[in-house]
Amino acid sequence: MTTHYHLGLSVRGAIRNGEWRGTLVGACTDGDRVLTADEILTALLDHLQQGHEVIPYGVACDRWDWKDGCRGHPKESP
């Protein structure tokens, strides 16, 4: 049996490493509008305020934990 995990982003890590100024610019959107670096930082700080340590890339899966990320999805090996 294998386990599949969805990717997540450490909110504190993204802030500390400055990803909100570089890597995330152009990748974060609000509908059709691309967020600015300042808007990304505000969103990350809002997540921390809500107690979210890890945020999902895309939509959170049904086993998402805002402290640790995806808890894994066991799959049968072919």
pLDDT tens for 64-77 read: 999 999 999 998 77
Output the pTM of the full model: 0.85
Beta strand pairing call for 73-75 and 69-70 = unpaired
Whether residue 47 contacts residue 57, with contact meaning beta carbons closer than 8 Å, is answered with no
DSSP bridge partners of 65: 69
- For 62, the 3-state DSSP assignment is coil
Q: Report yes or no: 2 and 75 within 8 Å, Cβ to Cβ.
A: yes
Bridge partners of 74, per DSSP, are 3
Query: pLDDT tens for residues 15-67?
Result: 999 998 989 999 999 989 999 999 999 999 999 999 999 999 988 899 999 99
